[in-house]
Amino acid sequence: MGVAASFALMLAAPALVVAADAPPAGLPSWNDGLAKSAIIDFVTRVTTEGGPDYVTEVDRIAVFDNDGTLWTEQPMYFQGMFINDRIKAMAPDHPEWKDKEPFASLLKGDMAGVAAAGEKGLVELAMATHAGMTTDEFTKIVKDWFATAKHPRFDRPYNEITYLPMREVLDYLRENGFKTYIVSGGGIEFMRPMTEQMYGIPPEQVVGSTITTKYELQGDTPVLMREPKVDFIDDGPGKPVGINKFIGRRPIFVAGNSDGDYEMLRWVTSGAGPSFGMIVHHTDGEREWAYDRQSHVGKLDKAMNEAEQRKWLLIDMKADWNRIYAFEK
Amino acid sequence: MGVAASFALMLAAPALVVAADAPPAGLPSWNDGLAKSAIIDFVTRVTTEGGPDYVTEVDRIAVFDNDGTLWTEQPMYFQGMFINDRIKAMAPDHPEWKDKEPFASLLKGDMAGVAAAGEKGLVELAMATHAGMTTDEFTKIVKDWFATAKHPRFDRPYNEITYLPMREVLDYLRENGFKTYIVSGGGIEFMRPMTEQMYGIPPEQVVGSTITTKYELQGDTPVLMREPKVDFIDDGPGKPVGINKFIGRRPIFVAGNSDGDYEMLRWVTSGAGPSFGMIVHHTDGEREWAYDRQSHVGKLDKAMNEAEQRKWLLIDMKADWNRIYAFEK
């Protein structure tokens, strides 16, 4: 995740969707080569008791960006698709949106008009769809969307548009005693309903952007109301801040795909002990998308420039992955 | 934890102190009776597969207040003692404090003068001791304090002034598949260095109050600087908010001791399934302290009034606990 942090303000809720098939053991979707070997070598080193790089199990923390690292972020962040769908679904109850930007442009399908409203406009769209309900209500909205919405290119539910090789890395790390976390610019309550089923990552191991919530009584029943106010943006320099706040110790493994992950990559790979940083480079325009320095979504420039110097592993999606999605036959 | 939320603004860092002896298995420090039975009955019900109240392991989340619930909060919050000690230790580098309140009063030992500075003054003391350094530096300061400071009444390190019966409950829950969390008004980075060793609770399972941190480069090294700005107060209605933000699902077990835990008690025990709420009532003026409705620290009034109606278990420390501290012989 990189630009459009405004689309990253939204929070989270739980899921009711079809379970994606579990990835096979090991790293079978990775072609043999330097990338695969580097991952295995690192895990072997930190789990070899008595070895110079041994790390006790409790300190084996791994953090993963989500958009563009664990699942696709094209043609736009999936949370942006969610906002788009929700505005359309809510429009009958909001006749005033017909004459109000950026709602009017969105409802006409005029994305240039939406973009013209700038960051302020995007925040308005985000808040209209993410605030004003209880946390339980938002959870249900998110689950329902995942159960019905489909990705425009692949015609499949968004929770299936995940990278099988990365799910294999998650499993491989957990088998080796790692605790795996998501650290994403996306809304924490947009991710949490889905991450257990998609990645085997429970809600409490998801770090993301938050809006504020407020404790209230509805009659005699306590609820948490979602307010239209940004609490925390977990992107760029916010990512190490989020890691420190939510996890409270420095991870030893980090995966990202964009300059929005740069500071997190720096922070994780600056610890005193062994550490491992990897960047998913989107190089496959046929099976997925190819983009980096010039992209508005997931721009990868500075982090790529420094990858060699910082010893971060640059994954070549096209060359290193023999499968991208589990639904490929 | 209840009043003086200002003393609750401070954050967290890791520990290097003497390990307190592990509590024995079961609940041996609890006298046989209604309280002990109620805890065991609940845990048995939610762990009995096929039973009507069975809860899957992943949803067995338990949250505990810290001050007054897991360790003593008298004669003042231990984090207040830390502030007091730190101001004295830092004074030689701050000659201006001699003429500046509330620093001047504190340095003279005039606690009434400190109190006269009100909440604003307490925040100043907290920020002077908790901000202006990196997270790693603060962690070291906290560890060093725990390794040297002693409780004025018991003449022992603060990490030994924990309630043995509550540590037994933590262990008992974990043995039964629960994930145990602290949800405290105290500073997250003041607790995290110590909770693993004191309670078997890792840093990532500690929710607390936070100040903001900022990613910076010192030379080429990334650090997180602690800023003198409140980020989040995890007290009163902030506790359910903190639970939702950090954990992302509703716990089924909650323990507190004051009105600062009231909303957390309400939130946890309002879930759809089985749940359990308990309140530690400080009734033992000889072995510990006796206080409730009139206390400035850990005031317990409203939560006690509603305990029966809400089916919250009121623990009578004097009657229910045959030992309070592990160091009692």
Q: Over 80: is that where the pLDDT of B10 sits?
A: no
B192 interfaces chain A, CB cutoff of 8 Å: yes
Q: Which of B58, B215, B267 sits opposite A263 (nearest CB)?
A: B215
Please name the residues in contact with A137: beta carbons below 8 A apart, sequence gap of 6 or more. Answer: none
Q: Give domain status of residue B140, yes or no.
A: no
Distance to chain B for A188, nearest Cα, Å: 8
CA distance B217 to B215: 7
Ranges of residues in chain A whose predicted pLDDT is under 50? 1-20
Domains of chain B: total: 1
Q: Over 90: is that where the pLDDT of B13 sits?
A: no
A140 interfaces chain B, CB cutoff of 8 Å: no
pLDDT confidence bin for B23, thresholds 50/70/90: low
Half-sphere exposure of A211 (CA within 13 A, CB side): 31
pLDDT for B74 equals: 96
Q: Give domain status of residue B187, yes or no.
A: yes
**CA separation, residue A238 to residues A64, A148, A184 (Å):** 14, 32, 10
> What number is the average pLDDT over the span B235-262?
98
Q: Give domain status of residue B118, yes or no.
A: no
Q: Give domain status of residue B136, yes or no.
A: no
Q: What percent of chain B has pLDDT over 90?
A: 89
Residue type at A210 in one-letter notation: T
Q: Give domain status of residue A328, yes or no.
A: no
Q: Which domain holds residue B45?
A: 5-76+161-320
pLDDT for A111 equals: 87
Please name the residues in contact with A164: beta carbons below 8 A apart, sequence gap of 6 or more. Answer: A23, A29, A321, A323, A324, A325, A326
- Comparing C-alpha atoms, which of B65, B69, B63 is closest to residue B276? B63
Q: Taking a C-beta distance cutoff of 8 angstroms, is the pair B203, A249 a contact?
A: yes
Distance to chain B for A23, nearest Cα, Å: 21
Q: Taking a C-beta distance cutoff of 8 angstroms, is the pair A167, A37 a contact?
A: no
CA distance B192 to B142: 10
pLDDT for A298 equals: 95
pLDDT for A25 equals: 64
pLDDT for A12 equals: 31
Residue type at B34 in one-letter notation: L
Distance to chain A for B298, nearest Cα, Å: 21
CA distance A90 to A98: 12
Omega before B157 cis (within 30°)?
no
Judged on CB neighbours under 10 Å (0-12, 13-18, 19+), A133 is: middle
Q: Which of B14, B135, B240 sits opposite A224 (nearest CB)?
A: B240
* Contact list, B247 vs chain A (CB under 8 Å): 203-204
Q: Taking a C-beta distance cutoff of 8 angstroms, is the pair B197, B15 a contact?
A: yes
Q: Give domain status of residue B68, yes or no.
A: yes
A197 interfaces chain B, CB cutoff of 8 Å: no
pLDDT for B7 equals: 40
Q: Give domain status of residue B291, yes or no.
A: yes
> Across the interface, do B248 and A204 touch by the CB < 8 Å criterion?
yes
* Contact list, A241 vs chain B (CB under 8 Å): 212-215, 224
* Contact list, A230 vs chain B (CB under 8 Å): none
* Contact list, A143 vs chain B (CB under 8 Å): none
Please name the residues in contact with B314: beta carbons below 8 A apart, sequence gap of 6 or more. Answer: B278, B279, B281, B304, B307
CATH classification of the domain holding A223: 3.40.50.1000
CA distance B149 to B168: 25
CA distance A78 to A142: 12
> Across the interface, do B237 and A215 touch by the CB < 8 Å criterion?
yes
pLDDT for A3 equals: 37
Q: What is the ipTM of this complex?
A: 0.91
> Across the interface, do B203 and A245 touch by the CB < 8 Å criterion?
no
CA distance A62 to A172: 11
Q: Over 60: is that where the pLDDT of B49 sits?
A: yes
> Across the interface, do B204 and A249 touch by the CB < 8 Å criterion?
yes
> What number is the average pLDDT over the span B311-328?
97
Please name the residues in contact with B213: beta carbons below 8 A apart, sequence gap of 6 or more. Answer: A241, A244, A245, B11, B135, B224, B225, B226, B227
Higher pLDDT, B319 or B13: B319
Mutate to test the interface with B, among A224, A306, A309, A310 (most CBs of B within 10 A): A224
Q: Give domain status of residue A329, yes or no.
A: no
